[in-house]
Structure 1
Amino acid sequence: MEQAALSPPGAVAAAAAGVGSVSTEGAGQSATKPLRLLVQLVRHNYYLNFRVEELEALCETEGGWTLDDLWRDCKRPVSGGNDEFFYANFPSEEFVQRIAKRSVLMRDVTEVWAEGKDLEACQEKMRTFPREKRRQHVHPNTTFAYRVTAYGKSLSAEEKKKLMDSFGFLWERDEKIDLQNPETTIHIIEEWGHARSAKSDSGVTPDVSTSTADPPPPPRQPKRFVFGRIVADGRVSRSCWFQKFALNERPVLGPTTMDNELAFLMSNMAKVRKGTTVLDPFVGTAGLLVSASHFGAFTLGADLDVRVLKGWGVSYLNKSSQWWKEKQKEKGKKEKGKKEEKKLAALPLMPSVFVNFDYYGLNRPDTVRTDNAAWMWRFPLPSKSEAEAVTKATETKTENEIHAEVPLTFHPDMRKEKLEKEREKETGAVSSSSSSSQSPEEREREEEQKESEALMEKKRRRLQSLGREGTVPWLDAIITDPPYGMRAASRQSGQTERNLKRKRDRIDHQGGVEGGGGGQGAGEVPPQAVESVAGEERTNEQRSAYIPPTVLYGTIHVTFDLLSLASRALTVGGRLVFLLPVDLTLVDPDQEGALEEHVQRHVRPWASALRLVCFSLQTLSGGMGRILVTMERLQRS
């Protein structure tokens, strides 16, 4: 049985003449030509700029449909613009339905049967629409219902009924109506456009030069009327599929738990699907991994704060959730039973990250306590030829090429050298290589240049060692919300100079190393003495509850180490999706290219390893914002 998808305007007349139709050979089979359908996206208050990018990512996730196919002979809407309805190409109706099933910001997709600038023009086109094509979807053996959508104007129930009755000439009185679960939904769209600006919708600007009183504006007119059949439903009501993951329904929450809508958006942007391997290096309470696990991915989470992973005081139980109410009912039943059961019920529930996964019936993630600033992932050893190729690459490529292709994390020695330089600046020490005639700014630039050269030299040596350690990629996606210090402190493992000095002083006071022996110079402290002060060795019980000390983790270092991880661990085509903060008092989002320059400043060094796919701004309060950045691993040479 054939199905028609017509391309307005003028498609109805073509269909009546028997040309320009698009046919399929039944459910599950590919179409001979792409379907040109009308898409309506949700106008979200927070994620308006994410709508088109999510649609494109979902098309690529399903596979076999490129962005060129999606927008061929169609105008791509501007991200965050006022285009509520737009046309796009799809291979089949089943393809659209799969996208709508997991989309967060798609409302519905309509197969257009008629379109006109006014109601009369739309009705006239429907009078010439082939009866047999309409009866394929609305006939005595099926049920149907109307849906009226008005954009830019609110319609009363009486106005909606009048609009539906105006198309009564189409029906033959043998059709069955089902308002609850119709098999076919007929869509009537009345589009009035976005809120009117100073210039009226009719294109006439009121002339107030000859009168002190403002003349009455011309009456508003609708932009168009559309009549068709809904092919796929997305977010048509508040009770959509992802609402059960709302934060007020989560058993365990944390101070920075990711919003459920944004979590699923990030999973869609990362093209997460069944069988993929997903890592969140700043997992927290695993809000992002809940969405990835829902789509069938194998998930892995890492975090510096072991208290969050174990549920030691940072995360908490959500006592307003349905899960908590059910637990209280179970506890009440147990208290009426045996004493052993009463004692068991009295035990406190630990708010670990696994409780949410168990509640939703999802596979638990593997979690590990690790520091993103310290490289800890180990790979299988490469073959001898691969090791020789890596070593050869370090000899032939320039410093900039090495930095771009294999950006590596900061080495602890580099951080130590940087601290020593900062201490020299504080004490007023000036390098002997600096000329006395240089200004402070010139000396600072010269020191930064030397530091950059030293960094590149260490990276070159580190790259050579990769031939021995191996760099086998193993991740399909990395989705994360790094702690940049806006809602949570950004920290890494380490000790402040003050704490290290205290340990040295205590060791010297005990007389363990003063004067030196066994190869140690006078006043030097062996590393093992700093790590374990005499008389303070920890027992196994103490080590299990030991929380290592941390220091501040700069924003530039967070981004550097995250992109370093992605460039090495992602497979070809794997995606990195993360949030980047932006101070909107310094970066004007309305200025052309300002946001892109802000993003490029962080990701440009990895241009030959990671491709910037897209970025979308979310405006926050207090003059701040965050940018959802999506990057993709390029083919390795």
Structure 2
Amino acid sequence: MATTSSHSLAGLAADHRPYLLFGVQGPLEQFRLPEIDSVLQLFQIPHSWPTSPDPLRPYTLIGLRNDDDARKLGSRLVSVKHVWEYWASADSYHQVHDVVQSQECRAKWEPYALDEKCTWKFTTAGHNRTLALPQQVARINRFSYMAFLGPIDLKHPDLEVGLFEEYDENKEWGNKVREARRQLGDEQFEALHRDKGKEKLVESGLIDEEESLRAVWLGRKICDTSRHLIDVFDLKKRAYIGTTSMESEASLLMANQALAAPGKWIYDPFAGTGSMLLTASAFGACTFGSDIDGRQIRGKKTGIRHSAEQYGVWNRILDCYTFDMTQHPWRTGELFDAIVTDPPYGVRAGAKRLGRDEGEREVQPQVIAGRESEGYHHQFHDYVPPSVGWPMEEVISTLITYALYLLRPGGRLVFFLPTDSAVYEDIDIPVVPGLKTISNSPQQFGKWARRLITMEKTTETEGEWRKALEGLDRGIRRQGAKSTWEKEQEAEREQEAQSRKPGHADFNVRYQEGFRQVKDGIKDLLVDDRTAESSSDPNDTQ
């Protein structure tokens, strides 16, 4: 491929063609690569990476077999806007024109240019730089040598050519515009800016057009993606939401990482208002939800059912039950293909489990007059059993073993984990045999972050993960119970601790021992010296 060394395609497989994924930058940009990997696995799409993907850059090169695989990949992506067939890229416009006019690249676009019936259009966009309409037209005109013979069609073209500029963040750009205003004067600057925008400032030499330009990309559009679903599932348009409802983009990304698809059974143990159930069901999966507070599920005037009917997925939400995860009813494990959830952080809603604070009055069920045959009832129509606070670290550790019990081999656990950015380390992610971490993607909020963790149940260490459940009640730790694996880990740590004593342990004994070793050393040294002297005595004979 004729391209600059900075855009080498050395990693492209022999039977693959390069494609360009036009990604979205923003607070969830770190989620893009895990989502791409998940969709590739979901559809079993063979792929290669021409260059190592960088989550901080909006454009990602990937090698695929053909356009059909590209469309299949794009059909599920949410963090990517469009998929393009890669034609050329370079560090500057001078270089990219050389690449586009090379024989290898010409073979890609020339058949379209020579087809008089092929309708076409150019699309331009800039990353970290806004391109005004006059700038866009000027850039398109630079490729006039491509000389397309067919008519232009801006709405439904047969060919859409994408021209993209990628700039490094330049904090000085605004200062230079202000400096240009100062030099020209407000009146003259406004006249130039009104007529031709920044184009005139570039022509005057006051602003360098390609300053901070990192790359120029050119390609043929293959398809749009499913990013439009973000607007479809927008919370502002949803029939039923709550204070903790997950935003649409994050819930769609979680559904993709859970590999939601027809034939899959997916569970949310902190269902709340059902955001994860809706998006996973929209991708064809059958879903089940539970929550300790049934009022969240039922709502008052509207509930999860109304949102599900709004999106036409009510037939895929098998049911929603009210129960505490630590008192769950599952008598058999390995039921679900994925568990996808957003545990309560204790910020907008605290984590709770069944229990009663010491001294709290117990509400007993009663027999209601005239309904004795029905047995005992609570006097309150919408009775909510008492609950107590549940520390976050216990929530996560319980969720891990709960998922280990309920997931089928190859099933995924997808959940958000809140962390303090100042003290977070990767070792903070819980580790348990049988669940390997697939991805760990942060969304920063200043001093804290939430991390989307994806784990997969493996069968490689089946004996070990079964030990991680031995001693627990179906994945749940009750009254401080510990699994066989945890006990073995604690025993190993205690053994290691005993094998290394601190420097002050048995100090008096070690002190005296040190003196004894010194005395013995001196004694041995004296003996050696006497032996050496006797052996060197001139009166000695052989």
Q: Residues 63 and 145 from structure 1, CA distance in 2 versus in 1: closer, same or farther, beyond 3 angstroms?
A: same
- Aligned-partner SS, 1:177: coil
Q: Which residue of 1 aligns with 2:484?
A: none
Instruction: Summarize the Cα distance change of 1:234–1:196 in structure 2 as closer, same or farther, 3 Å threshold.
Output: farther
Residue 373 of structure 1 contacts residue 558 of structure 1 at CA under 8 Å; is this kept in 2?
no
- SS state of the match for residue 326, structure 2? coil
Contact 2:365–2:379 (8 Å) recurs in 1:
no
Residue number among 50, 54, 74 corresponding to 2:51 in the alignment: 74
AA partner of residue 107 (structure 1): K
Can you give the 5+ residue segments of structure 2 that lack an aligned partner in the other structure? 174-205, 464-542
Q: In 1, are the aligned partners of 2:417 and 2:451 still within 8 Å (CA)? A: yes
Provide the secondary structure at the position in 1 that maps to 2:124: strand
Who is 2:392 aligned against? 555
Cα separation, 1, equivalents of 2:172 and 2:37? 30
Alignment of 1:190-201 (within 5 A): 190-195=165-170
State the Cα distance separating 1:374 from its structure 2 match.
1.6
Q: Structure 1 132/254 Cα, relative in aligned 2: closer, same or farther at 3 Å?
A: same
Deviation at 1:294? 0.3
For residues 558-573 of structure 1, the aligned pairs below 5 Å read: 558-573=395-410
Q: What letter is aligned with 2:93?
A: L
Residue identity (%): 25
Code of the aligned partner of 1:476 = D
Match of 1:115 in 2: 89
Is 2:285 the counterpart of 1:307?
no
Q: Does 1:185 align with 2:154?
A: no
Match of 1:276 among 261, 264, 267: 264
Q: Is 475-484 or 555-564 further displaced after alignment?
A: 555-564
| SS, match of residue 343 in structure 2 | coil
Cα shift readout 1:103-162 (whole Å, capped 9, x = no counterpart): 121122332323333323322333334656424445233321101122232222112111
Q: Do residues 34 (structure 1) and 10 (structure 2) align?
A: no
Corresponding letter in the other structure for 1:252:
Y
In structure 1, C-alpha distance between the alignment counterparts of 2:291 and 2:357, rounded to whole Å: 20
Aligned to 1:160: 136
Corresponding residue to 1:546 among 383, 388, 402: 383
* Number of residue pairs the alignment of both structures matches: 420
Matches within 5 A, 1:568-583: 568-583=405-420
Distance in 2, Cα, partners of 1:535 & 1:225: 77
Opposite residue 187 of structure 1, the aligned amino acid is: G
Q: Does the CA-based 8 Å contact 1:572-1:633 persist in structure 2?
A: yes
Contact conserved, 2:166 with 2:215, CA < 8 A, in 1? yes
Name the counterpart of 1:220: 211
The residue aligned with 1:378 is 331
Instruction: Compute the displacement of 1:278 (Å).
Output: 0.3
Q: Distance in 2 between matches of 1:7 and 1:243?
A: 40
Matched residue SS, 1:194: coil
CA contact (8 A) 1:142 1:183 kept: yes
Give the letter aligned to residue 38 of structure 1: L
Distance 2:41 2:51 in 1: 18
Alignment correspondent of 2:337: 476
Whether the 8 Å contact between 2:110 and 2:146 is mirrored in structure 1 is no
Alpha-carbon distance, 1:633 to partner: 0.4
CA deviations 1:192-223 (Å, max 9, x no partner) are 3233589xxxxxxxxxxxxxxxxx99882533
The C-alpha deviation readout for 1:424-457, integer Å capped at 9, x for no partner, is: xxxxxxxxxxxxxxxxxxxxxxxxxxxxxxxxxx
* Distance (whole Å) between structure 1 residues aligned to residue 87 and residue 19 of structure 2: 10
In structure 2, C-alpha distance between the alignment counterparts of 1:190 and 1:554, rounded to whole Å: 48
CA 1:121–1:298 in structure 2 vs 1: closer, same or farther (change >3 Å)? same
User: Is 1:494 aligned to residue 355 of structure 2?
Assistant: yes
In the aligned structure 1, how far is the partner of 2:245 from the partner of 2:152? Answer: 44
Deviation of 1:7 after TM superposition, in Å, equals 7.0
* Aligned counterparts of 1:245 and 1:535: Cα–Cα separation in 2: 45
Supply the AA of the counterpart residue of 1:193: D
Is 1:614 aligned to residue 439 of structure 2?
Answer: yes
**Does residue 1:229 correspond to 2:66, yes or no?**
no
- The answer on 1:629 being equivalent to 2:453 is yes
Partner of 2:469: none
**Are the equivalent residues in 2 in contact too, given 1:615–1:630 (CA < 8 A)?**
yes
Q: Would the alpha carbon gap of residues 615 and 534 (structure 1) be closer, same or farther in structure 2, given more than 3 Å must change?
A: same
**Quick one: distance in 1 between partners of 2:457 and 2:45?**
19
TM-score norm. by structure 2 comes to: 0.70
- 1:142 is the counterpart of 2:122: no
Cα gap change, 1:296/1:552 in structure 2, threshold over 3 Å: closer, same or farther? same
The C-alpha deviation readout for 1:26-53, integer Å capped at 9, x for no partner, is xxxxx97112223331002x21221222
Equivalent position amino acid for 1:293 in 2: S
Deviation at 1:282, TM superposition (A): 0.5
1:54 has 2:35 as partner? yes
C-alpha distance in 1, partners of 2:368/2:356?
20
Amino acid at match of 1:41: G
Deviation at 1:596, TM superposition (A): 0.9
SS in 2 for 1:252: coil
